[in-house]
């Protein structure tokens, strides 16, 4: 069985006080109950990790949104996987399209980040997805295949089994335009097949693949119903505890 996960990527939103309040609301609402087998993860900004770890129950996972390619050194402004792990966080988002686009993160760097995260016992939530131009040109599967093959280069099966994948079509992020359930299922099953080719069918069947891109309470159910969709990576809607929990309860 693979895990069902609903993760909230807060991006660069909330002051520390607002973030602590939001985490408290998420915790309180989650305690009212979640569908069986569904886990929650929140990914606040770095500055909030320590404070939020104290607020969240152990049952809610804590994630950073990025990590450095090295453990320590003269890299002004960077935050390492080792530092993230020392806050009590268990996950780190790697390769979000905003990092790839605005911060020019290359596949090679992302591969390094995946490896350093694993070396520090963090679970990478690895993002992939095509932009609108690539979708319209019909090359979206090649784009995602490349991102996955390059992002996981050199990872053995044991390490790969710790990975969570998030398929986030760039054209659906923050645009209000969600992938149709058919488009999501098509890409998720393509990714699972690729994992099967790179590793084996047992590994493929246990890899959680989340969907991200304008996922909200009104459309989560039809997306999560697909056999290869194991949950969501939620942006905007995760900034409201009611909406975030309503999405988690869509399973």
105 binds ligand 13P (CB under 6 A): no
Q: Which of 45, 124, 151, 213 binds ligand 13P (CB under 6 A)?
A: 213
**CA-CA distance, 18 to 23, in Å (whole number)?**
9
| Closest residue to bound ligand 13P by CB | 235
Residue 67 CB, nearest approach to ligand 13P (Å): 16
Task: Kindly state the helix (H) or strand (E) to which residue 223 belongs, with its residue range.
Answer: helix 220-224
Alpha helices in 77-207 (DSSP H): 81-86, 97-102, 107-119, 132-136, 140-151, 157-160, 181-198, 201-206
**CA-CA distance, 76 to 60, in Å (whole number)?**
31
What SS3 state is found at 109?
Answer: helix
Which is nearer to ligand 13P, 173 or 191 (by Cβ)?
173
Residue 66 CB, nearest approach to ligand 13P (Å): 12
Residue 109 CB, nearest approach to ligand 13P (Å): 19
Cβ distance 124 to 94 under 8 Å? yes
Kindly determine how many residues on this chain lie close enough to bind ligand 13P according to the rule CB under 6 A. Answer: 14
Residue 237 CB, nearest approach to ligand 13P (Å): 6
Residues in 160-199 that interact with ligand 13P by CB under 6 A:
168, 173-174
94 binds ligand 13P (CB under 6 A): no
**CA-CA distance, 102 to 83, in Å (whole number)?**
23
The residues of the shown chain that bind ligand 13P, judged by CB under 6 A, are: 9, 96, 168, 173-174, 212-215, 233-237
């Amino acid at each position: 069985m693979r895990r069902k996960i609903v993760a909230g990527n807060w991006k660069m939103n909330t002051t520390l006080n607002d973030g602590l309040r939001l985490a408290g609301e998420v915790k309180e609402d989650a305690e009212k109950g979640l569908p069986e087998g569904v886990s929650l993860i929140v990914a606040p900004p770095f500055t909030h990790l320590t404070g939020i770890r104290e607020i969240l129950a152990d049952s809610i996972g804590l994630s950073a949104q990025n990590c450095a390619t090295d453990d320590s050194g003269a890299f002004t402004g960077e935050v390492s996987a080792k530092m993230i792990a020392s806050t009590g966080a268990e996950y780190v988002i790697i390769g979000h399209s905003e990092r790839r686009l605005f911060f020019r993160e290359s596949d090679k760097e992302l591969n390094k980040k995946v490896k350093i995260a694993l070396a520090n016992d963090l679970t990478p939530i690895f993002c992939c997805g095509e932009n609108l131009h690539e979708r319209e040109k019909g090359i979206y599967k090649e784009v995602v295949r490349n991102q996955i093959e390059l992002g996981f280069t050199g990872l053995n099966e044991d390490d790969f089994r710790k990975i969570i994948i998030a398929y986030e079509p760039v054209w659906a992020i923050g645009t209000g335009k969600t992938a149709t359930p058919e488009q999501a299922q098509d890409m998720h099953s393509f990714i699972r097949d690729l994992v099967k080719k790179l590793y084996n069918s047992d590994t493929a069947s246990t890899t959680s693949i989340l969907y991200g891109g304008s996922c909200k309470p009104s459309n989560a159910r039809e997306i999560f119903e697909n056999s290869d969709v194991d949950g969501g990576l939620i942006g905007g809607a995760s900034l409201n505890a009611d909406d975030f929990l309503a999405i988690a309860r869509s399973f």
